Amino acid sequence: MKCLVYQLGQIEYSECLQLQRDLQQQRIDGTIPDVLLLLEHPPTLTLGKTGRMENILVPASRLQQEGICLVSSDRGGDATYHGPGQLVAYPILSLKNRGQDVRQYVRNLEETAIRTLKDFGISAGRDKAHPGVWIDREEIAAIGVSVKNWVTMHGLALNVAPDMVHYAFINPCGFTDRKAASMADILGREIPMETVVSTFIEHFSDVFETPVTFGSIPPGPYVRDRAKNNLMI
């Protein structure tokens, strides 16, 4: 099973959500192979389908002042921050030939991030009670997924070097007693995003036992404008 990798640059959350839905349906229909979307979002707070508004700690006026969007999402989980400097991975994978095992799928996402971090000298692991990748009680990669007809969407957000100040605006993933961490804070320096991306792709291919090839968005309502670094409808 091959997987097409689409590197989208920075894209608005709502636009990427519609793109995921379109690709998910195409994958369900069997008209495309598995897909891995790699991207960054502009500053955005999302609430998962089980999220609570009290985990957003600042008023809408403050979010507007900071240029941060608030979006409801159909992924699992609670409050999450996305922003530049964060590697977001949205796999559109069929689990029909992967044991139809959502828990194993989540573990594989975690393993991909754990191996990626290890390559940069960062020792991270799992919390048996909470999905994601952790360094002690600090979350460095959040996971929230959605599955329809055994095809996945949403996925993982790895903090490479985002603006960590914005995490003070939420209880990350609903936790009041835990914090978020980033690779830059732990290492005391920034790692080029493209270096992290290439490492992540390598481990994704190994963990999911799938060859990857780079592609562009299939014909449809979306056209990639690389010069402007956005996605146009």
Q: b/e for 55-87, b at 16 or more Cβ within 10 A?
A: bbeeeeeebeeeebbbeebebbbbbbbbbebbb
Separation between Cα atoms, residue 80 and residue 155, nearest integer Å: 12
| Residue in this structure with the two tokens 């402007």, named with its chain if needed | 228
Q: What is the torsional sign of CA 50, 52, 55, 60? A: positive
List 3, 16, 69, 173, catalytic entry: 173
Is 16 a catalytic site residue?
Answer: no
| Residue 28 backbone dihedrals phi, psi, to 5 degrees | -60, -40
Beta bridge partners of 86: 159
Separation between Cα atoms, residue 49 and residue 139, nearest integer Å: 20
Separation between Cα atoms, residue 132 and residue 32, nearest integer Å: 28
Q: List residues with catalytic annotation.
A: 173
